[in-house]
């Protein structure tokens, strides 16, 4: 993993936790090509790094990410947009097997909202603003903003957000199931780190299997999803962490998980 001026990486003193922070405050953390590439490269590296068990994805105190950088795309032709294959950069995030926590303060609009929805847990500040305003500039979401949003909040909430471009607050996002928790703005990162520490202390293979099965099962028939769940459940009985967890339970001590 490598920090640069646009994406800053922090290894927390807490074991197994890393933070990725978008750092373009003058551009309201707009997602230009270098930011997308840096995020993709880092998530690929995180996916293969056994010393990382949980990721915090965040922006600044006043903005998470205010969408795509329109200067990158305003004059592009359809073939130019196709040739960029930006979907491959997004796939590096969606394919990451490690749990991802988005810590959202301020604006999470357009591509910023789509980025937050790539996370597994979203901690929102009271004054966070989630929205998909692409219709206001003559386009529509192109990185999951229709599909992930509808799956999260349902057809009618999604249609209202997408067709009006109006944002919702952090409190509304929780009530609509677009966020996991809402906290005071100055507690967002602290709460994300608290949860990251908790998750990082869990057996990582079990955490990765939970994430994989939940996401894969959401788009297949229930019977198939239950079969997938059973197989993953059975697989975990071949891990050292399963033995350690159950033995620690019997011995009334805290387990120490090795990730094996």
Residues 136 and 244 in one domain: no
What CATH number should be reported for the domain holding residue 231? 1.10.12.10
Q: Which of 30, 67, 131, 134 is catalytic?
A: 134
Which pLDDT value is given to residue 57? 98
Residue 144 sits in the same domain as residue 213? no
pLDDT tens-digit readout, 109-148: 999 999 999 999 999 999 999 999 999 999 999 999 999 9
| Catalytic choice (65, 68, 124, 207) | 68
Checking 209-217 for CB contacts under 8 A at 24+ apart, the result is 209/235, 209/236, 211/97, 211/98, 211/99, 211/120, 212/97
1 pLDDT more than 80: no
| Span 47-87, pLDDT tens digits | 999 999 999 999 988 999 998 888 888 888 999 989 889 99
Q: In the prediction, which pLDDT does 254 show?
A: 94
Active site residue 208: no
Write out pLDDT tens, residues 86-95. 999 999 999 9
- Does the annotation mark 68 as catalytic? yes
pLDDT of residue 74: 86
User: Residue 68's domain spans which residues?
Assistant: 7-200
Residue among 111, 125, 131, 144 flagged as catalytic: 111
134 is known as an active-site residue: yes
Question: Quick check: is 259 in a domain?
Answer: no
Q: Which of 185, 200, 215 is the last residue of a domain?
A: 200
Give the Cα separation of 215 and 33 in Å (integer).
Answer: 27
Structural domain contains residue 1: no
Residues 178 and 236 in one domain: no
Average pLDDT score over residue span 188-207: 97
Q: How many domains does the chain have?
A: 2
**Mean pLDDT, rounded, for 15-38:** 93
pLDDT of residue 11: 87
CB 108 within 8 A of CB 88: no
| Those residues with Cβ within 8 angstroms of residue 37's Cβ, 6 or more apart along the chain or in another chain | 89
pLDDT of residue 249: 96
- Decide if 91 is inside a domain: yes
Residues 77 and 96 in one domain: yes
The verdict on whether 232 is a catalytic residue reads: no
Q: What is the arithmetic mean of pLDDT over 36-53?
A: 96
Find the catalytic residue in 67, 92, 114, 125.
Answer: 114
């Amino acid at each position: 993993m490598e920090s640069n001026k646009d994406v800053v990486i922090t290894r927390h003193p807490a074991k197994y936790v890393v933070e990725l922070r978008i750092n373009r405050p003058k551009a309201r953390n707009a997602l230009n090509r270098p930011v997308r590439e840096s995020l993709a490269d880092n998530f690929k590296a995180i996916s293969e790094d056994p010393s990382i068990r949980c990721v915090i994805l965040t922006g600044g105190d006043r903005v998470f990410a205010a969408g795509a950088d329109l200067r990158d795309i305003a004059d592009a032709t359809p073939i130019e947009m196709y040739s960029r294959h930006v979907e491959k950069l997004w796939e590096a995030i969606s394919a990451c097997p490690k749990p991802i926590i988005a810590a959202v303060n301020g604006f999470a609009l357009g591509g910023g909202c789509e980025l937050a929805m790539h996370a597994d847990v979203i901690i929102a500040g009271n004054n966070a603003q989630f929205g998909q305003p692409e219709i206001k500039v003559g386009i529509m979401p192109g990185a999951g903003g229709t599909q992930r949003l509808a799956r999260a909040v349902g057809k009618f909430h999604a249609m209202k957000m997408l067709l009006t471009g109006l944002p919702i607050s952090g409190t509304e996002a929780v009530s609509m199931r677009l966020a996991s928790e809402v906290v005071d703005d100055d507690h967002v990162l602290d709460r994300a780190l608290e949860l990251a520490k908790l998750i990082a202390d869990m057996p990582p293979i079990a955490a990765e299997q939970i994430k994989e099965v939940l996401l894969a099962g959401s788009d297949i028939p229930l019977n198939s999803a239950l079969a997938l769940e059973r197989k993953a459940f059975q697989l975990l009985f071949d891990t050292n962490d399963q033995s350690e967890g159950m033995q620690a339970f019997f011995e009334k001590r805290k387990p120490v998980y090795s990730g094996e």
